[in-house]
Structures are given as structure tokens and as C-alpha cells.
Amino acid sequence: MAARSDDSTEAEQQALVLQLAELLTEADAELLMLALAQRLGWSGKLYTRRDAEVLANRVLHPLSDTEWQRLRKSPLWLARHPLAQELTEDQLHEAITDLGIPVELDFDDF
């Protein structure tokens, strides 16, 4: 991290950033990530809960906090670097159905 004008150490600054991350709502964190990416010229795909719901377009309801936590801890989600690889609709649909989250029946699946 860049040095600040006060006497705080880098470790203290990092602790403050991590503490802030715990206080942000999911929506605020998404806005912050987008603002940082724009300001710093970052590029990559960040998958939010909303993106997962849209990508797996057969989810019958918005993902609950519990379902979102389970999806984030699924093997598919954990196997990818957070900003490195794109997910396909089929991969995400499979991960969601493996977790038992209700989805619309698609007769192409039979």
C-alpha cells in the first residue's frame, strides 16, 4: 500500500481495509469494487450473487444468503481464481442443482 501522511504502519492500514471490508454490505462492496476497477484500470470478471442468478437463469427465486454461501463454497466456485476464469451457464446450473436449490425444469436436461 502507498505510504500515508500519518504515522500508521502498513500493517495498520491493511487491518483498517480488512475491517472496512467486513462492514460493507454486499451491494456497497460491489460498488466499491467497480469504482476501484474503473479508477485503477483493472479488468476481469467479478461474479456477484446477481450474476450467478442471471447466469443460471433457471433459479426459481433470488438466492438466499444461505444458498449464496453454499454456492460460494461449492467445488465449482472454489476451483476458480476470483477474477480469472469465466463460468458457463451449464457449470453454474450444475453447481446450483447439486446444492439442491430449486430450478425450473428444462426438458433439454432429460
Collect all residues with Cβ–Cβ distance below 8 Å to 97 and sequence separation of at least 6.
Answer: 103
pLDDT tens-digit series, residues 8-49: 798 898 898 889 889 999 999 989 988 998 999 887 777 788
Q: What are the CB-based long-range contacts (under 8 Å, 24+) for 107-110?
A: none
**Position 4 pLDDT exceeds 80:** no
For the segment 48-76, what is each residue's pLDDT rounded down to a tens digit? 888 888 877 767 788 889 989 998 888 88
List Cα–Cα distances, 38 to 14, 20, 43, 44, 50, in angstroms: 21, 20, 9, 11, 20
Q: What is the pTM of this model?
A: 0.57
Banded pLDDT at 82 (limits 50, 70, 90): low
Structure confidence at residue 110 (pLDDT): 47
Burial of 5 (0-12, 13-18, 19+ CB in 10 A): exposed
Higher pLDDT, 7 or 102: 102
pLDDT top residue among 32 and 5: 32
Q: Could you give phi then psi for residue 16, rounded to 5 degrees?
A: -65, -45
Predicted confidence at residue 24, as pLDDT, reads: 92
Q: How is the chain split into domains, by residue range?
A: 7-43, 44-110
